């Protein structure tokens, strides 16, 4: 039976899935509700799919944040170590143009509902130009992203100031002269606090535990490039070494008025920021502990202190959502996500996820490798292991990092170990830089 494959999403993961499936001459249609390629990296001042803000630059360096089929040198060698959101948008769009992918993407098309009929059929409801229609496919590849549905915290009491989530934070200007409280210790919280502190009356940051702040550079090199040099070491030793290095370079969190770190390296998703510690020591950002309750504009903290704020920006992360599935079919919004190589389902062998993992590093190089493996599976040159159920369970019981049990820590992988595991399944000559012509696609 001829395969007809649907991909949801034309972000960094969806375009590499499309490229690699087209490389194997498969029939593929991509649906994306956006106007163009880029997903999260299409900045908009209005609320949209994207969660980046005006000043976002990536936290993984370009050296470890590129497709091997189309590197930053292939795109624009002058791009800085940590590209901006706009450079990334242009990079992803250039990838799609270079590999002639646009004809296979239907934009402004929302996937509403996906029903798996059997091993060889999916019924997919899409909305295009305001009209809903049903399309049939043999296989479904999900690349809808996992950083766009906000996780909103709840506190006793009612806050009467402005309350937004970081998904809605676009730029610092609206917070000029405001008393701002930022919640969270992840990358959004630290970036947002640094940005608002440039214009606000006061900015405070509330952490519910101690986090390591990893600088973007060590010894003049991007920190992930330095980290990659010890990738051959066992993870336990690498993590121990990283902890020591950070302690030597930054000292303890107490020096900055922050809570001490009580977890091992990798036990929480890393926060990478060069400016937060500087802002704390310059009195521009004030450290606070977890929130106890709110009342009017007053926030009470768990150490007994109280302070008034005009605005709260909750940078409390995102929910893993697949609104186009019945929740009885797939619901990964909390708890373990049992997929082999974070992509293959143990029972549904015509359903795949690409990019649905959280590396300590960049996502799309891993998406590229997953896509190549998927292409080999769909063309029969790679066989799914017969013990897939066992392998799915093993990924849950033997994670790369033992992380603290909070909602954001369900799909973590170590960049280097994950890459190695995927490469093990691929042939040696897996890099394919030559674009297929439109003619080749239609032959």
Ligand X SMILES: Cc1cc2nc3c(=O)[nH]c(=O)nc-3n(C[C@H](O)[C@H](O)[C@H](O)COP(=O)(O)OP(=O)(O)OC[C@H]3O[C@@H](n4cnc5c(N)ncnc54)[C@H](O)[C@@H]3O)c2cc1C
Ligand Y SMILES: NC(=O)c1ccc[n+]([C@@H]2O[C@H](COP(=O)([O-])OP(=O)(O)OC[C@H]3O[C@@H](n4cnc5c(N)ncnc54)[C@H](OP(=O)(O)O)[C@@H]3O)[C@@H](O)[C@H]2O)c1
Contact residues for ligand X (CB under 6 A)?
A: 8-14, 31-34, 39-40, 49, 51-52, 56, 58-60, 110-111, 143-145, 147-148, 188, 324, 355, 362-363
Task: With H, G, I as helix, E, B as strand and everything else as coil, classify residue 236.
Answer: helix
- Residue among 11, 12, 186, 365 that touches ligand Y (CB under 6 A): 186
Choosing among ligand X, ligand Y, none, which partner's interface includes residue 69 (Cβ < 5 to 8 Å by kind)?
Answer: none
Residue 40 binds which entry of ligand X, ligand Y, none, with Cβ cut-offs from 5 to 8 Å by kind?
A: ligand X
Nearest to 145 by CA among 40, 16, 31, 5: 40
- Provide the minimum distance between the beta carbon of 66 and ligand X in the complex, in angstroms, as a whole number: 11
Q: Under the criterion CB under 6 A, does residue 58 sit at the interface with ligand Y?
A: yes
Among 8, 126, 149, 189, binds ligand Y (CB under 6 A): 189
**Shortest Å distance, C-beta 67 to ligand X:** 12
Nearer Cβ to ligand Y (14/150): 150
Cα dihedral sign for 78, 84, 90, 92? positive
State the binding partner of 72 from ligand Y, ligand X, none, CB within 5 to 8 A by kind.
none
Smallest distance from the beta carbon of 399 to ligand Y, in angstroms? 15
Pick the binder of ligand Y from 9, 83, 222, 317 (CB under 6 A).
Answer: 317
Piece of the chain touching ligand Y by CB under 6 A; list 1-9, 62-70, 313-321, 418-426? 313-321
**Please, which residue, 205 or 339, has the CB nearer to ligand Y?**
205
Identify the helix (H) or strand (E) that includes residue 204. Answer: strand 202-206
Which residues lie closer than 8 Å to 64 by C-beta, 6 or more apart? 222, 224, 225, 228, 361, 362, 365, 415
Pick what 378 binds: ligand Y, ligand X, none; C-beta below 5 to 8 Å, kind-dependent: none
Question: Between 14 and 185, whose beta carbon lies closer to ligand Y?
Answer: 185
Min CB(428)–ligand X separation in Å: 26
- Cβ burial of 86 (10 Å; 0-12, 13-18, 19+) is middle
| Integer Cα distance of 320 and 337 in angstroms | 10
CB distance 354 to 143 below 8 Å = yes
Give the three-class secondary structure for 32: coil
Distances 28 to 2, 17, 187, 327 between C-alpha atoms, Å: 11, 10, 35, 26
Alpha helices in 64-153 (DSSP H): 72-75, 85-98
Of 268 and 371, nearer to ligand Y (C-beta) is: 268
H or E segment and range at residue 243: helix 235-250
Residue 184 or 227: which CB sits closer to ligand Y?
Answer: 184
Token pair 């806050």 in the structure block, residue: 159
- The burial of 380, by beta-carbon neighbours within 10 Å (0-12 exposed, 13-18 middle, 19 or more buried), is given as exposed
Residue with smaller CB distance to ligand Y, 152 or 255:
152
Residue 41's φ and ψ, nearest 5 degrees, are -95, 10
CB of 361 to ligand Y, least distance (A): 10
Binding stretches for ligand Y (CB under 6 A) = 56-59, 147, 153, 166, 183-189, 191, 208-209, 268-269, 290, 315-318, 358, 406, 408
């Amino acid at each position: 039976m001829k395969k007809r494959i649907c991909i949801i999403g034309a972000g960094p993961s969806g375009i590499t899935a499309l490229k690699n499936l087209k490389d194997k001459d498969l029939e593929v249609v991509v649906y994306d509700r956006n106007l163009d390629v880029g997903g999260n990296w299409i900045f908009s001042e209005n609320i949209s799919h994207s969660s980046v803000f005006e000043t976002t630059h990536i936290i993984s360096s370009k050296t470890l944040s590129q497709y091997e089929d189309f590197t930053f040198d292939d795109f624009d060698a002058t791009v800085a170590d940590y590209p901006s959101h706009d450079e990334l948008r242009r990079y992803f769009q250039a990838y799609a143009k270079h590999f002639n992918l646009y004809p296979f993407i239907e934009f402004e098309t929302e996937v509403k509902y996906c029903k798996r009929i059997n091993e060889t059929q999916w019924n997919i409801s899409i909305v295009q130009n305001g009209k809903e229609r049903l399309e049939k496919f043999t296989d479904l590849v999900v690349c809808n992203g996992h950083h766009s549905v906000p996780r909103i915290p709840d506190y006793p009491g009612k806050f009467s100031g402005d309350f937004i989530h970081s998904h809605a934070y676009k730029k610092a200007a609206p917070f000029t002269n405001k008393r701002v409280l930022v919640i969270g210790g992840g990358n959004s919280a630290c970036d947002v606090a640094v940005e608002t502190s440039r214009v606000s009356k006061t900015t405070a940051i509330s952490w519910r535990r101690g986090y390591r702040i990893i600088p973007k550079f060590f010894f003049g090199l991007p920190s992930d490039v330095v980290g990659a040099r010890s990738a051959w070491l066992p993870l336990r030793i690498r993590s121990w070494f990283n902890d020591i290095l950070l302690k030597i370079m930054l000292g303890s969190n107490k020096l900055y008025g922050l809570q001490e770190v009580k977890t091992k390296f990798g036990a929480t998703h890393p926060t990478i920021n060069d400016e937060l510690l500087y802002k704390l020591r310059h009195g521009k950002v004030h450290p606070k502990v977890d929130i106890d309750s709110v009342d009017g504009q007053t926030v009470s903290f768990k150490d007994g202190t109280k302070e008034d704020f005009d605005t709260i920006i909750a940078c409390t992360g995102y929910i893993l959502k697949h609104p186009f599935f019945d929740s009885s079919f797939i619901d990964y919004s909390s708890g373990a996500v049992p997929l082999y190589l974070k992509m293959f389902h143990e029972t549904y062998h015509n359903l795949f996820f690409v990019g649905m993992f959280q590396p300590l590093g960049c996502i799309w190089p891993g998406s590229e490798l997953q896509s190549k493996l998927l292409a080999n599976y769909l063309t029969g040159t790679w066989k799914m292991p017969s013990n897939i159920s066992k392998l799915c369970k093993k990924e849950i019981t033997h994670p790369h990092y033992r992380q603290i049990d909070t909602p954001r820590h369900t799909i973590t992988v170590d960049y280097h170990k994950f890459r190695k595991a995927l490469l093990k399944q691929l042939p040696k000559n897996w890099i394919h830089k030559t674009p297929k012509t439109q003619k080749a696609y239609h032959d």
